[in-house]
Structure 1
Amino acid sequence: MISTVKDLAAEALFVSCLQPSEDPTRATLEDAITTMILQYGSDGCAAGVATEFGDHPDVAVRRMRWVQTELDEVVQMHAPVLH
């Protein structure tokens, strides 16, 4: 279940207008993800990712790498602290 949620978040962030140069905060990332899911739904986000990988694979790979890095940081921030 968690990987499915993370995959959807990655697709939504990928199709958002956010750029790495903006150095978005966690709240900005979460807002962008939510907005894209509400606007396009899971199928629309996935279709946007597929289109970009088909049309501009070199750029899409770099963007997805950035998306994954950002999401990894968000997940780490939400991870429980074990003592």
Structure 2
Amino acid sequence: MTKLTDARAEALFTSPLATGSRPDHDIVEQAIRAAVRARGGVRGCAADVAAEYGDHPECAVPRMRWARGIVEHLYDIRRPRSAWTLVA
């Protein structure tokens, strides 16, 4: 994954959107922007994510799976192909 994907997922994780929801691209963009602003940047989002993993790991794991899944889906993140795929 890219650093941009990580930053988007962390910001979405810290947003007030409900885990399990299926927001559209515009809603996600707004939530990411608001989260980054509210936390003073992407480092603030990452710090809040780390705190949640420390305080509530049982809730943080499913929330990050949700956030990463939404980001990957809406931004159409493609996983790098393996070396075998490139050679064939």
TM-score range, shorter chain: 0.7 to 0.9
Correspondence 1:36-47 to 2 at 5 A: 36-40=35-39, 41-47=41-47
- How far apart are the structure 1 equivalents of 2:48 and 2:69? 20
Q: Which runs of 4+ in 1 moved over 6 A?
A: none
How many Å apart are 1:11 and its aligned residue?
0.8
Structure 1 unmatched runs, 5+: 78-83
How many Å apart are 1:20 and its aligned residue?
3.0
TM-score, length of structure 1 as denominator length: 0.82
Q: Which has the larger radius of gyration?
A: 2
Aligned pair count? 76
Q: CA RMSD in A?
A: 1.7
How many Å apart are 1:76 and its aligned residue?
1.7
Aligned residue number for residue 3 of structure 1:
2
How many Å apart are 1:21 and its aligned residue?
4.5
More helix, by proportion:
1
Aligned residue number for residue 86 of structure 2:
none
Structure 2 unmatched runs, 5+: 78-88
1:8-49 Cα offsets, whole Å, 9 max, x none, are: 111100000001354311110111001111221112101100
How many Å apart are 1:54 and its aligned residue?
0.2
**Does 1:62 pair with 2:35?**
no
